[in-house]
Structure 1
């Protein structure tokens, strides 16, 4: 099976849409880009992802015996983060396949109703304060996104992502409205003054709490408005727990957690290892990883702000018996894979949010490794996205 990201998504969507129809909760489910097949039975969605991934792995020469996709315990209200677009008097998400068209939402079932209502209240108040929506075509206006993050306790951190300009007094008034919403603990003003359409920005100021506490397994991880965190509040524990178990770390080991973010995986590894290098290129995430280590009483996590490739190039062969990696959608890439082959850890646990790049990397790594475990995780119900963990062991 030769696929691109687009054709992989289409294969999953087509397979899912062949499943049992069901009544979607959202009236916009068939047109909104937030959901591709909310109108199909959830079990059929999961089965579609498993079937397409089995074909992908098998066609690439990777064993798939017993491969399954773990379903989300709840396919609704699962997101830990949602980025709502504000443009031309509309508040919602982009239409499926129409980047410049926004589906105006009055509710969204990907997060709890109170979280959506809080974000919408901020957008409405911005209009009352004379803060115009941003026009992505004309590059005019001010308010680009309202971002809401939530944890299992339904505490919320909200961010307004704006273009340049604005004044602090008006934003303080907007913050007052945000903090008055049920569950909201903090409000951030982020500035994206580029032409690039991003729901992240440079922090200008915050009101209330600066971070949100996310419970993951036996740890609490603080996250900010710009930092990455697994986006399924119900399945993140299972994903991270399985990755840590698969690492089979022993108390004498020095371990590397690559693309470690705020330390969610590394902190759990540290409870089992002699030391863990948590390697992350984003400085804000490294700062939070340091804070999270202190908050959880973990003294043997070493947050390192570095590019993964440069970090690996500095490690002697045989110096790391176990490596866990959770790269972005671009995957590890040939250079990082070659460094892993040179260092030669006994075990590699590869957490991936893009099966295509994972497969490409596995085809390089299996020169010296055997895939001894492979499992999918439906972190994004109603979408074609799926995560997977591959466990590799060095061949004798």
Structure 2
């Protein structure tokens, strides 16, 4: 009896090798198994697989391990087509067949609800994930760090998994071909002109990052060079070379970030050449994108996502809509033709200026945009006699601000539509609202194929 007890509580040791059955996919795309009731996360392992793993990290509540051998492979395991898939870390699921990725993403939403809510999952309408017909080359923006090798060669790419080793990327399979082409050419120009490249270790050098954004419909490209200072040697030559070799680059911008930080952009942006913005079209709407403007990274799926919001809103032309975290106004403008009035708010002033411009340009007269928080404006509008029928939110990964959720409980719109990019914070926020609001249905949408990310549109109705 004593022996048995000792075995069942035996602690896992670092470097220990042991067999594991993978039960499901974790929120970061890793396989999840259990060793003596403790959770073990295994990068690259898939649900249903029987693997032999080696423990790499032991924590009080979970452990991490790496695959040593696959004894029984998942029937959905495929060979990842990207040659640097395992070094880069930008995608987590290329080794899983795409149809199965969609099923697993729905399961990631369910796991978050199980972990963070008291809702009965079997009573919820959680629909199959909406995927892409062609799940490649979908990203309209790349942000490649730049480094220089000892032989003087300039490389551009992403930092490898859990490391500060720069993995060179010349042709990313999930990026739009134009962003690949332009980033590679700009890298080449910087190398030829011997421009000082920033070294993260010594904190010397000037050019840090190449940010490239392409308009899928317009074919226009914007390049932003992130530098540590305003003065850049041979700046005029860099601009001339980009202009002559890359006619698709319509906007050339410099952003200055001299801080020791993992943030890409600094506060100061300088327009160098061409236009200040590039054009992009979603459905019938045309948007001007400045260097700092937030815009969805997958335009093809964005249309499907916004159509799901429209479906959930189910407008008759009489509704008043509040669009919290409105950004440049995309969701509100998408809904404006079916509503009596749209009011949007955001804390970023530049986004509100863009939102007003976008409304004017499309002749949308029933949309108003203001700077500030939703928790400030919603109660104020109600006091003034304007009560929204529908509130739409599309918050950052951290979820809705607690004050906003309290404002929703107070204002009590008939319908609350939550667009989420993080199932964990979504589940916590739904749980907090569950006394007042019933989950009508949840619609996962795959905005980032081959990664563990999943977006979700949720229709919540006042009880």
TM-score, structure 1 as length reference: 0.91
Mapped to 2, the partners of 1:242 and 1:112 lie a distance apart of 24
> C-alpha distance in 2, partners of 1:299/1:320?
17
Match status 1:65 vs 2:125: yes
| Structure-2 residue corresponding to 1:265 | 331
Partner of 1:90 in structure 2? 155
Of residues 287, 310, 323, the one that matches 2:353 is 287
Asked if residue 191 in structure 1 is aligned to residue 256 in structure 2, the reply is yes
Structure 2 residue aligned with 1:81: 141
* Equivalent-residue separation in structure 2 for 1:280 and 1:74 (angstroms): 33
Contact 2:141 2:179 in 1 (8 A): no
Aligned to 2:189: 125
Question: Equivalents in 2 of 1:310, 1:323: separation in Å?
Answer: 14
SS in 2 for 1:309: helix
Q: Which residue of 2 aligns with 1:370?
A: 438
**Change in CA separation of 1:171 and 1:276 when aligned onto 2, cut-off 3 Å:** farther
Is 2:203 aligned against 1:139?
Answer: yes
The reply on whether 1:42 has 2:98 as its aligned counterpart is yes
**Equivalent position of 2:165 in the other structure:** 101
CA contact (8 A) 1:67 1:374 kept: yes
| 1:15 positional shift | 4.0
1:127 CA displacement? 2.8
TM-score after normalising by structure 2: 0.79
Cα distance per residue 1:4-28 (max 9 Å; x no partner): xx96214576447956233333210
Secondary structure, aligned partner of 2:438: strand
Q: Deviations over 1:200-230 (max 9, x none)?
A: 2321123112112221122112121211111
1:177-256 equivalences under 5 Å are 177-179=241-243, 180-201=245-266, 202-256=268-322
1:85·1:145 contact (CA, 8 Å) conserved in 2? yes
- Give the corresponding residue for 2:403: 335
Q: SS of the counterpart of 2:86?
A: coil
Separation in 1 of the partners of 2:377 and 2:207?
A: 38
Gaps of 5+ in 1: 1-5
Q: When the two structures are aligned, how many residues end up with a matched partner?
A: 388
d(CA) in 1 for partners of 2:235, 2:95: 39
Which piece of structure 1 moves more, 365-374 or 285-294?
A: 285-294
Deviation at 1:182? 4.8
Shift of 1:308: 2.9
Structure 1 SS opposite 2:190? helix
- Give yes or no for the alignment of 1:304 onto 2:370: yes
For residues 159-178 of structure 1, what are the structure 2 equivalents within 5 Å?
Answer: 159-167=224-232, 170-178=234-242
- Please give the secondary structure, in 2, of the residue aligned with 1:235: helix
Moved more, 337-346 or 133-142: 133-142
Shift of 1:66: 4.2
Q: For 1:254 and 1:391, how far apart are their aligned partners in 2? A: 16
RMSD: 2.2
CA distance in 2, matches of 1:218, 1:191: 35
* SS at 1:226 equivalent: coil
Provide the rounded CA distance (Å) in 1 between the counterparts of 2:45 and 2:348.
Answer: 36
Using the alignment, how far apart are the partners of 1:103 and 1:19 within structure 2?
A: 30
Q: Which whole-Å CA distance do the structure 1 matches of 2:197 and 2:226 have between them?
A: 11
Q: Which residue of 1 aligns with 2:63?
A: none
Q: Are the aligned partners of 1:146 and 1:159 in contact in 2 as well (CA < 8 Å)?
A: yes
Moved more, 320-329 or 44-53: 44-53
CA distance in 2, matches of 1:115, 1:351: 27
Task: After TM superposition, give the deviation of residue 266 of structure 1 in Å.
Answer: 1.0
Q: Deviations over 1:96-115 (max 9, x none)?
A: 222x1111122111123332
Question: Is the contact between residue 108 and residue 423 of structure 2 (CA under 8 Å) also seen in structure 1?
Answer: no
CA distance in 1, matches of 2:441, 2:352: 30
